[in-house]
Amino acid sequence: MFGKPRFGLASAFGLGLVALTALAPASSFAAPGQQAQFDLSPNPPFAACVAADPSRPPVAHVLVQQGSRADGLRIDAHGLKPDSQFTVFTTQRTNLQTDGSVDPAFSKSFGLAWYQADLFTDDNGDGQVTIQTIVVDRGFGFDPDAQLAPSNTFHVGLWFNNPNDAAPCGFDASQPTPFNSLHKAGPTAMISVPNADGQLGPLCFVPNGSGGCKPQ
């Protein structure tokens, strides 16, 4: 099922863990904590524009490793549109429900959003990107000037960098979203879904039982 996180200790993911830690300085991952892996779900209205083959759902698998100073997050994508660019954001909210369907109550705002990276696909529609920052349990931002209180970003998603890439699926490219460096991106391509309780995203490893996350 899309979006269902799976937790484990440092040895749980074998070669996948070795590959991830090899991409960052060892000191950043000293005394690692928990890990999780989950899949991003295609955004239903634009799923056909994400996939290389509309008859086969695209896959964006996320591996997250909690570190002592910074966390590692890697996205391995397969079956996306070849030779395309997507932007990677961590966000406060998702527009999907736990089953991957569009949330009818979504307010059209993802809340606080952090631009993390770009993901490029090759001729086969495969792509990979790794970021090293704080994303597990503690990822947040705030802005007193905008009267924005500290807000967590427990979701991760991909956006079409080029709004024209989503136009065949009904997106109005003359009304871009701000999800790239030029603030002229397309819609959400794939994004995480809430945890089983329907409240928090998969980057919260330790829910506090009252709708929040317990920082480690």
Digit-coded pLDDT (tens) for 66-107: 998 999 999 999 999 999 999 999 999 999 999 999 999 999
Q: How far is CA 176 from the centre of its chain?
A: 20
What pLDDT score was predicted for residue 70? Answer: 94
Task: Report the share of the chain in percent with pLDDT over 70.
Answer: 84
Q: Determine the Cα–Cα distance for residues 46 and 30; give it in Å rounded to an integer.
A: 40
Q: Which residues lie closer than 8 Å to 71 by C-beta, 6 or more apart?
A: 64, 65, 132, 133, 134, 135, 136
Q: Determine the Cα–Cα distance for residues 80 and 123; give it in Å rounded to an integer.
A: 10
What pLDDT score was predicted for residue 197? Answer: 75
CA 175-181-184 angle, 5° bins = 10
Instruction: Tell me the average pLDDT across 18-36.
Output: 50
Give strand pairing partners of 110.
Answer: none
Please check the confidence at residue 167 and state whether its pLDDT lies above 90. yes
What pLDDT score was predicted for residue 216? Answer: 63
Q: Determine the Cα–Cα distance for residues 46 and 41; give it in Å rounded to an integer.
A: 11
Q: Determine the Cα–Cα distance for residues 1 and 62; give it in Å rounded to an integer.
A: 14
Going from N- to C-terminal start, the domains of the chain cover 17-191
In CATH, which of 3.30.1050, 1.10.287, 2.60.40, 1.20.1260 is domain 17-191? Answer: 2.60.40
Q: Determine the Cα–Cα distance for residues 7 and 64; give it in Å rounded to an integer.
A: 10
What pLDDT score was predicted for residue 4? Answer: 42
What pLDDT score was predicted for residue 32? Answer: 56
pTM of the model: 0.85
Q: How far is CA 23 from CA 136, 143, 145, 210, 213, in A?
A: 18, 32, 37, 36, 28
What pLDDT score was predicted for residue 164? Answer: 98
Q: Which residues lie closer than 8 Å to 105 by C-beta, 6 or more apart?
A: none
